[in-house]
Structure formats: structure tokens, C-alpha cells
């Protein structure tokens, strides 16, 4: 692997570090206590300031108003922003909007871009992505119950979605629905652009995650579509290409997620180290004097640093050879980074004792909302299976030719 951080990116990273520490950290207690709506006005002010300074849409080309960063460069930005749950939203590169913008940019028609992409890029509206269904295993993304049936110049959609992240307050939902039921499994579904104010589109509830339903962008919704009619031109890309579009969306998105998780790991690590120094077990002994806590600190440091290199290597591979050729790298980082995040945050909570499970620190929020990292975007077990099968296939092919993989 050969990559270097462009010197031009260093001032950006430093500016973002200051933004996160000085502006976002102080907002977090209010967000935890009173929800997203309580901090949204201040976040909108920060967004406007960031946009004026050119700190806006790092994942989008400059021609469309973004920073035009490579996948690797955006990964580095994502780590800094990831230290705060509010970081990505401030630069308008938050999930699920970032991936939806990329879909519209690459596959949308001019009319679709004008209606939906332009206001998304400007931060005037939010969007959501309706794929997961409660009745079907999310580990099998080609098994969907939602149907979109062509009726003249319209699609009529019926289905049930959940964990449609950030649907609360969103103007657009990109819905995965079966349009070609007789096609091969990976060619049955399509993506359809559905305005959330369409008749028959109902946000049933914000789903409580470990007891917290959240609101606005910081939420996950259950959604029903009952006879929702949208114009035929709301089809995104070609019919039956929904799965292929979803795969194109996930590659760079997983880099952003994994580097964000590393940012959260660094935040938890800082809190753990500070707690180890400050907390006394007796007048003579600090928590950090115990061997167990010292081991937690050493193990966490090694795991975070190793994971960062693994993710940056995958980002470099995407930039060099493309998403398809880097599929194995992308699966590797997904399950590995998610597992490291869980371990590091859990150690930090344990180090804080009872304080760690209260709302007096950000740790319980991280654990609540990021335990799902090992589930969404494909469970860890699926990614491990994908990687192992590809490795074994290479070895089998090499053996058949009398060589080694």
C-alpha cells in the first residue's frame, strides 16, 4: 500500500478538529437530553458557516458544490467528524443523505436531480432509504416483500419497511421494491423515488433503539406504503437494477462508516484514559495503576491503529482499482471495524463504572446507537462468510493449476 495525506488537507483536518471540539462537543449533552430538535437550530447556523468556508459535502465533486475529496481523503475527514455524533450532519455528509446524493448524482435523470439532488446538496431537505423489512431477514437483501406494479404512467407501491433511518422530517424516500418478480433474484428489485408526503406513505413510528426513539435525523422509522402512486419517471436507474445500485452505494459508504467508527473509538479512548488518570481507588492508587485497565488501554490503542490502517488501505484500493475489485477489502473492514468499536466502547464504559451507563458522558449514547454497527449494512457473519469464500476460491483455483494462491 502506498498513500500519503495531501498537504492541502492538513489545514482542513485541523479546522474540523476545532469545530468538533469547540462547537459540537458542547451541544451533545442537550442533544442527549432533549433530542435532535433541540440542537437543530444551532446546527443549521454551524452548517451555514461551514458552507461559507468551503467545508461542505466532502463526498461530492467540486463541480456540484462539494469538496471533491477522494475516498481516502474523505475517510480521513470522516474520522475527525466521527468523534461527535453530530459531526457528519454539520458538513452535510451524514447517512443516509450522503449515499442518496451519490445515487442521484450517478444514476438520476436531469429532472430527478433538479427536484431532489439540488436541495439535498444545499442542505434544504433530508432524505431516507427504505430497504429493510421486518418480515424478511436483512441478511438476505434480495428477499423483499415490497412491490411496485406499473399502472399506466405510474408505479403503485405496497410494502412495509423499518429502520428507514432519518425518515422523520425527510422529504424523500428512496424505496427498494420488487418490480420484476420473475427475474433472477439480483435483478428483481428497483429503486423508486417516493415523496414522503405522497398519499399512502405513513411513518408509523420512530423505533426505540435500546429504549430511545429519537427524533428528526437522529431516528429510525417504521414505514408503511399502501397504494402509493408515483409517476413512472420516479424510477431511479433501470428497472431491476436496484441491487446493483445499492452495491455501488455501499462501497464508499462503508469507508465513511468505518472511519466514523474509528473517530468514535478515539473519543471513547480519550475518555477511558482520562478516567484512568483521574479516578482514584484509594488515596494512594489511581484506576490507571491497575494492570487490567493498563491492558485495556494498550489493547484498544493497538486495535484502533491497526483498524485505521486497514480501512485506509481499503479506501486506497477503491481509489486505485474501483469498488468491484475492492469488494473483499470492503467486507473485511466492515466486520473488523464494527467489532473493534464495540470492544473499545465497552472497555471505556467498564472503566467508568456506573458513570459509564449514565447520560453524563457520551459513552452510553455511542453504545446504544452503534451496537447496531455489527448488524446494519450486512451482519458481521455475512461479511466473514463472503471473505472466507473468496479466499478459499482463490486457493482452490490455484491448487487446480498446481500453484499457490
Going from the C-alpha of 55 to that of each of 52, 123, 283, 349, the distances in angstroms are 7, 13, 47, 33
Say how far apart CA 83 and CA 284 lie, in whole Å: 33
The architecture (CATH level 2) of 244-400 comes to Up-down Bundle (1.20)
Strands 127-130 and 172-178: parallel
Residue 33 Ramachandran class (φ > 0 left, ψ -120 to 50 alpha, else beta): alpha
For 260-275, what is each residue's pLDDT tens digit? Answer: 999 999 999 999 999 9
Whole-model pTM: value is 0.92
Which CATH number does 7-122 carry? Answer: 1.10.540.10
CA atoms within 13 A on the CB side of 310: 21
Angle, alpha carbons 45-193-326 (nearest 5°)? 80
Say how far apart CA 255 and CA 267 lie, in whole Å: 18
Maximal CA-CA distance, the chain = 80
Say how far apart CA 131 and CA 46 lie, in whole Å: 31
Contacts of 283 (CB under 8 A, 6+ apart): none
Query: Which pLDDT value is given to residue 1?
Result: 47
User: pLDDT class for 3, splitting at 50, 70, 90?
Assistant: low
Stretch 351-359: mean pLDDT, rounded? 96
pLDDT at 314 over 80: yes
Angle, alpha carbons 132-137-138 (nearest 5°)? 40
Q: What percent of the chain has pLDDT over 90?
A: 89
Report whether 51 contacts 234 (CB < 8 A): no
For 161-208, what is each residue's pLDDT tens digit? Answer: 999 999 999 999 999 999 999 999 999 999 999 999 999 999 999 999
Say how far apart CA 159 and CA 148 lie, in whole Å: 9
Query: Which pLDDT value is given to residue 107?
Result: 96
Report whether 285 contacts 341 (CB < 8 A): no
Stretch 352-372: mean pLDDT, rounded? 96
Report whether 334 contacts 315 (CB < 8 A): no
Say how far apart CA 159 and CA 163 lie, in whole Å: 14
pLDDT at 4 over 70: no
Helix, strand, coil % over all residues of the chain, rounded to 5: 55, 15, 25
Say how far apart CA 56 and CA 218 lie, in whole Å: 20
Which CATH number does 127-236 carry? Answer: 2.40.110.10
For 76-108, what is each residue's pLDDT tens digit? Answer: 999 999 999 999 999 999 999 999 999 999 999
For 112-147, what is each residue's pLDDT tens digit? Answer: 999 999 999 999 999 999 999 999 988 888 899 999
Report whether 113 contacts 104 (CB < 8 A): yes
Say how far apart CA 9 and CA 12 lie, in whole Å: 5
What are the domain boundaries of the chain?
7-122, 127-236, 244-400
Amino acid at each position: 500500500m502506498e498513500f500519503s495525506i495531501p498537504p492541502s488537507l492538513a489545514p482542513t483536518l485541523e479546522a474540523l478538529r476545532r469545530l468538533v471540539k469547540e462547537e459540537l462537543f458542547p451541544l451533545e449533552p442537550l442533544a442527549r437530553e432533549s433530542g435532535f430538535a433541540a440542537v437543530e437550530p444551532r446546527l443549521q447556523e454551524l452548517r451555514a458557516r461551514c458552507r461559507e468556508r468551503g467545508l461542505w459535502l466532502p463526498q461530492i465533486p467540486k463541480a456540484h458544490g462539494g469538496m471533491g475529496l477522494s475516498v481516502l481523503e474523505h475517510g480521513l475527514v470522516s474520522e475527525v467528524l466521527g468523534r461527535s455524533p453530530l459531526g457528519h450532519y454539520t458538513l452535510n455528509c451524514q447517512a443516509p443523505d450522503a449515499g442518496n446524493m451519490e445515487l442521484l448524482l450517478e444514476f438520476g435523470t436531469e429532472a430527478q436531480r433538479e427536484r431532489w439532488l439540488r436541495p439535498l446538496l444545499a442542505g434544504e431537505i433530508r432524505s431516507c432509504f427504505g430497504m429493510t423489512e421486518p418480515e424478511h431477514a436483512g441478511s438476505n437483501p434480495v428477499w423483499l416483500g415490497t412491490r411496485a406494479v406499473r399502472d399506466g404512467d405510474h408505479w403503485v407501491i405496497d410494502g412495509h419497511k423499518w429502520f428507514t433511518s432519518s425518515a422523520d422530517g425527510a422529504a424523500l424516500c428512496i424505496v427498494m421494491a420488487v418490480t420484476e418478480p420473475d427475474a433472477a433474484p439480483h435483478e428483481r428489485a428497483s429503486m423508486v423515488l417516493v415523496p414522503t408526503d405522497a398519499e399512502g406513505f405513513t411513518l408509523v413510528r420512530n423505533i426505540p433503539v435500546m429504549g430511545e426513539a429519537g427524533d428528526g435525523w437522529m431516528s429510525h422509522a417504521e414505514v408503511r406504503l399502501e397504494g402509493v402512486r408515483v409517476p413512472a419517471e420516479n424510477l431511479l436507474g433501470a428497472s431491476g437494477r436496484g441491487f446493483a445500485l445499492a452495491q455501488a452505494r455501499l462501497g464508499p459508504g462503508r469507508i465513511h462508516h468505518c472511519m466514523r467508527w474509528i473517530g468514535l473509538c478515539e473519543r471513547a479512548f480519550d475518555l477511558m484514559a482520562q478516567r484512568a488518570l483521574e479516578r482514584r481507588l484509594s488515596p494512594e492508587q489511581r484506576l490507571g495503576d491497575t494492570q487490567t485497565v493498563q491492558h485495556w488501554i494498550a489493547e484498544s490503542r493497538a486495535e484502533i491503529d491497526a483498524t485505521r490502517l486497514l480501512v485506509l488501505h481499503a479506501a486506497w484500493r477503491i481509489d486505485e482499482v474501483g469498488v468491484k475489485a475492492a469488494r473483499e477489502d470492503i467486507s473485511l473492514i466492515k466486520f473488523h471495524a464494527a467489532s473493534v468499536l464495540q470492544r473499545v466502547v465497552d472497555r471505556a464504559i467498564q472503566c467508568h463504572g456506573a458513570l459509564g451507563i449514565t447520560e453524563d458522558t457520551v459513552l452510553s449514547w455511542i453504545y446504544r446507537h452503534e451496537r447496531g454497527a455489527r448488524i446494519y449494512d450486512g451482519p458481521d457473519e455475512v461479511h466473514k462468510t463472503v471473505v472466507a469464500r473468496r479466499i478459499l476460491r482463490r486457493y482452490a483455483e490455484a491448487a487446480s493449476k498446481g500453484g499457490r494462491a
